[in-house]
Amino acid sequence: MSVISVGQAVVLGAVEGVTEFLPVSSTGHLKIVEGLMGIPVDDGAVVGFSAVIQVGAIAAVLVYFFKDIVRIVSAWGRGLRDREERYHHDYKFAWWVICATVPIVVVGLAAKPLIEGPLASLWVVAGSLIVGSGVMWAADQMGRHKRGEDDTSFKDAMLVGSSQILALLFPGFSRSGATMSTALILDLDRVAATRLSFFLGIPALTGAGLYELKDALGTGVGVAPLAVGTAVSFVVAYASIAWLLKFVAKHSFNAFVIYRIVVGVLLFGLLGAGVLSS
C-alpha cells in the first residue's frame, strides 16, 4: 500500500504547482496539507514524494523559458570551444548558475538527517513563514529596483543561490522568497529577481527530485501517485509562472507578505489547539 493515494497526489501536485515559485513556501504548504490529510510529514517516503513532484514544476520552468535556456546553454557550449565567446553574458551566467548551486548541494547532503527530521516540524514551518515574511517585506522596502537581468554579476548569483539554504533548513521560509528577497536587497528589480530565482531553481530542484526518487519509490510511495502528482504539478506550475511574472511587473510583494503571516499565525493556532500534529 502506498502511503499517499492517487487522490492525495492530485491535491499535493496542485499545491506544489501553485506554491513552488510563489514566495509563500511550497514545502511549508505541502507539509500543512499533508498534516490536514493525516499524512506523516516526517516519513521518509513522504519527504521523497515532495521532492520528486518538484520535478514537474521544474519541467514547467524548462518549457516556459525554453528559448532563454537554449540561448544560455548554447552560449555556454560556444564558450567552451571559443575563447572570444567567453565574454558573452550568457556564457558567464551559465557558469554562475552552476557555481551558485554548489552551496545548497553541499548543505543539503550534510544536513539531510536534520532536514528530514527535527526541521520537518510544522512548528518550524509556522515560524519560518512569519520570519520569512519580515525578511521579504524589508527587502522589498530596502531594494532600489534599479538593476535588470543583464546587470547581474557572479557575486549576485552566488549570494542569491546561497540564500536557498535558508529554505532548505527552514521549510516555510520559501526558496523563492529567500532568493527574491536577496536579489531585491542587491537592488535588482522585481522581474529580474523573479527570473533569477527561476533559473537558480532549475539545477537545485531537479537534483533534489532525482536524488529522492529512489527513496520515494523504495519506502512506500507507488509509481502511480508519483506520476500523477508530478503531472499535476507541471500543469499548475506553468500557469503559476505566467501569472507571477505579470504580477511582479506591476505590484510589490506585500500581498505575499500578508498571506504568509496569516497562514503562519493560523498554523500556530491549529498546532496549539491540537488540530494538527507537528
pLDDT score for 20: 87
Q: What is the mean pLDDT of the chain?
A: 89
What is the torsional sign of CA 52, 219, 41, 160? negative
Across 68-85, average pLDDT: 93
SS (H, E, C) 45-101: HHHHHHHHHHHHHHHHHHHHCHHHHHHHHHHHHHHHHCHHHHHCHHHHHHHHHHHHH
Q: Dihedral sign, CA of 180, 181, 187, 190?
A: positive
Query: Could you give the CA distance from residue 170 to residue 166 in angstroms, rounded to a whole number?
Result: 6
Greater model confidence, 119 or 133:
133
Grid coordinates belonging to 137: 517585506
- pLDDT score for 101: 94
Between the ranges 26-30, 214-218, 223-227, 260-264, where is the mean pLDDT highest?
260-264
**221 — pLDDT class (breaks 50, 70, 90):** confident
Q: Is the model's pLDDT at 64 over the cut of 90? A: yes
Amino acid present at 263: V
Average pLDDT value for residue range 194-207: 88
Share of the chain above pLDDT 70, in %: 96
**pLDDT tier, 256 (very low <50, low <70, confident <90, very high otherwise):** very high
Least confident of 65-79, 119-133, 218-232: 218-232
Give pLDDT, residue 201.
87
Tell me which of 3 and 53 has the higher pLDDT. 53
pLDDT score of 46 = 80
On the 0-12 / 13-18 / 19+ scale of CB atoms within 10 A, 29 is buried
Length in residues, the chain: 278
**The predicted structure's pLDDT at residue 219:** 57
C-beta atoms surrounding 193 within 10 Å? 31
Of 49-58, 230-239, 248-257, the poorest mean pLDDT is in: 49-58
Residue type, 181: S
207 CB burial (10 A radius; 0-12, 13-18, 19+): middle
Decide which of 216 and 176 is more confident. 176
Position 216 confidence tier, pLDDT thresholds 50, 70, 90: low
pLDDT score, position 1: 58
Question: In the chain, count of helices (H) and strands (E)?
Answer: 13, 0
In the block, cell 493515494 appears at: 5
What is the pLDDT, as a whole number, of residue 218?
A: 61
Angle between helices 44-64 and 223-248 (to 10 degrees): 50
User: Distance between CA atoms of 209 and 201, rounded to whole angstroms?
Assistant: 12
Residue 215 has pLDDT above 80, yes or no: no
The stretch 23-29 carries a mean pLDDT of: 85
Other Cβ atoms closer than 10 A to 186? 22
Mean pLDDT of 137-143: 92
- The residue whose grid cell reads 552566488 is 158
